[in-house]
């Protein structure tokens, strides 16, 4: 309810502050004065995919700041004004961006090309919700990149060959990444991983692993004492020696369970966002996924 009220308040600011320029989107070009397509992305993975496909032909603004967990993040009035001027808006969908539908309905930007990148992916249901973390399976990442490529071609037909070539390059890289995961994880006999946040369902499904999640799809949910005890007993029974947590979320619960069973904690990154340090170091989808693979392999072999 609080989220809905806040979104309505933000949209009211946009409507109140909108001048006649807001209604002039019908005459704007599909690229800005620099010749680049103006792109808005909802969070890090969408930004990274868009940058890979768009390269030098696009100018991208990512909405969620580095180091910010995106599940509960909401756009500001400035973000929405920027969407009024954008050519393309890319979001994951599948419930990841709870605010997207209402915001898109409020915009006057009738020429905005909207990309729900997860469209066409076979979604995993968790109770009454979809698991939105589709990009953690490289095969799904290919689908998302293809949707982004198609949108860029629609916005900028003159550079269609450029976008197609970039897509083919990264499609091959995703095939290679998929093969690395398959070859590495097919060799481990233990298939159980304990994670703090139920974000790794697509990765586990793709490679035959069993995700045991301390918390649900929302990383800020808190397990009750009964669930904590259940996880502790399960970890002891399965002789699990690593509890995974995410660096953008408090490791408190993971640390508590690890201490109880004499295990260690390690980071498993769902690629919802990178820290400032990772961004500065040039990390991206591929490097983080390979680090994840190494972490999972080490946990399952020891």
In order, the DSSP letters of 129-191 are EEE--GGGSHHHHHHHHHHHHHHHHHH-GGGHHHHHHHHHHHHHHHHHHHHHHHHHHTT-S--
Stated pTM of the model: 0.88
CATH number attached to the domain at 2-180: 3.40.50.1980
In angstroms, the CA 72 to CA 219 distance is: 9
Considering the domain 185-301 in this protein, what is its CATH number?
A: 3.40.50.1980
- 78: pLDDT strictly greater than 80: yes
Q: CB within 8 A of 187, min separation 6: which ones? A: none
CA distance 212 to 191: 10
pLDDT at 79 over 80: yes
Select the more confidently predicted residue: 20 or 45: 45
Higher pLDDT, 180 or 218: 180
- Tracing tokens 């989107």 back to the chain, one arrives at 25
Lowest mean pLDDT among 106-120, 187-201, 219-233, 286-300: 219-233
Check if the beta carbon of residue 150 is closer than 8 Å to that of residue 124: no
Residue 128 pLDDT exceeds 50: yes
Average pLDDT over the chain reads: 89
> With 60 as the cut, is the pLDDT of residue 50 above it?
yes
Q: Has residue 57 got a pLDDT over 60? A: yes
Say which range, 54-63, 126-135, 248-257, has the weakest mean pLDDT. 248-257
pLDDT of residue 217: 79
pLDDT (mean) for 109-133: 96
Q: Go through 187-201 and write b for each residue having 16 or more CB atoms within 10 A of its CB, e for each that does not.
A: eeeeebbbbbbbbbb
Res. 6: pLDDT tops 60: no
Question: What are residue 111's phi and psi, to 5 degrees?
Answer: -95, 0
Give the residue range(s) of CATH 3.40.50.1980 domains in the chain. 2-180, 185-301
Which residues, 6 or more positions from 201, have their beta carbon under 8 angstroms from its beta carbon?
Answer: 124, 126, 131, 133, 211
């Amino acid at each position: 309810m609080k989220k809905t009220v806040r979104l309505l308040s933000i949209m009211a600011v946009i409507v109140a502050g909108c001048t006649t320029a807001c209604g002039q989107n019908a005459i704007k070009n599909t690229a800005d004065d620099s010749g680049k397509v103006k792109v808005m992305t909802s969070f890090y993975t969408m930004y990274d995919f868009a940058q890979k496909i768009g390269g030098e032909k696009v100018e991208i603004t990512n909405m969620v700041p580095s180091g910010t967990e995106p599940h509960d993040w909401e756009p500001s009035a400035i973000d929405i004004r920027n969407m009024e001027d954008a050519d393309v808006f890319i979001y994951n969908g599948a419930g990841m961006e709870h605010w997207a539908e209402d915001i898109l309905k409020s915009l006057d930007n009738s020429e905005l090309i909207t990309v729900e990148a997860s469209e066409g992916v076979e979604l995993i249901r968790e109770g009454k919700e979809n698991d939105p973390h589709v990009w953690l399976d490289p095969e799904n990442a290919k689908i998302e990149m293809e949707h982004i490529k198609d949108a860029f071609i629609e916005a900028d037909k003159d550079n269609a060959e450029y976008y197609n070539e970039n897509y083919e390059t990264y499609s091959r890289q995703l095939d290679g990444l998929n093969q690395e995961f398959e070859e590495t994880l097919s060799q481990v006999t233990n298939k159980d991983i304990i994670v703090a946040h139920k974000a790794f369902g697509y990765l586990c499904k793709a490679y035959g692993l069993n995700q045991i999640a301390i918390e649900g799809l929302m990383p800020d949910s808190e397990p009750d004492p009964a669930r904590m005890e259940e996880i502790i007993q399960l970890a002891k029974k399965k002789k699990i020696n690593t509890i995974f947590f995410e660096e953008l979320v408090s490791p408190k619960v993971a640390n508590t369970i690890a201490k109880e069973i004499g295990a260690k904690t390690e980071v498993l990154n769902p690629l919802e966002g990178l820290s400032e340090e990772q961004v500065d170091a040039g990390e991206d989808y591929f490097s983080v996924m390979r680090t994840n693979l190494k972490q999972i392999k080490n946990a399952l072999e020891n």
